[in-house]
Chain A
Amino acid sequence: MRKGSAPSRTCTDMRIPCPYCGTRDAHEFGYLGDATTRRPDGGDPFDQVHIRDNPAGPHEELWYHGAGCRRWLVVSRDTRTHAITGARFAKEPA
């Protein structure tokens, strides 16, 4: 095992802690991308559809548990290490 390395770098196996099903392999989920974009009230939705912050670091993103509870989740994941730090139902407030 890789003793001494930072915890965020050892957790790269991509298991998502689904609030309903428990911790499951990311293989069971589909990905939709950035969960922080919002459709503007009556305005031009161009940014929401096309423009992304695309950060290198913590990222809030939408995953769909298609092979499980079939709920949409907002997963917190670091795009530099793939370390997943949390997941909640997308319908619930942050």
Chain B
Amino acid sequence: MLMATAARAAGTRAVACAAQRAGAAAAVRAYHEKVLDHYNKPRNVGSLPKNDPNVGTGLVGAPACGDVMKLQILVDDATGEIKEVKFKTFGCGSAIASSSFATEKIKGMTVWDAAKVKNTDIAKELSLPPVKLHCSMLAEDAIKSAVRDWEAKRAARQAAAGAAAPAAAPATASAAN
């Protein structure tokens, strides 16, 4: 009953996912429910303040279908732990499910572990068929893009801190030589 409602809702909202649903239906039932569950009740939807120094914003697009995904992480500067994750995905059902699943997966991880998450992990968990593998790649790349953005911010901050103490910087540089 609940399943039928979910499938109908997904059908009206994301036509492009017919192949994905058919594939998932033929696979293990638990995975099928997982995709629908994440699609119908996506976790961690929203935004974090992108100018916050501890927030990394990942942005990726799928050139073939025009889907876009924004994934943001709030990182503990001292430990590198991902304390908060938010995403917004404008695209098909499996892109939404992939990013929703990815946010749950990386919450509590360190940024460095999160950057190692592979699209195949996501695809396997959600049992995505081959035609929808690029959706999980989108999620993987969004995580990496968010981590890169956070690292770039941190590097800029450290460079600024170095520039604030100009006497120390040349000394370190010459010591290295």
Instruction: Say whether A and B bind each other.
Output: no
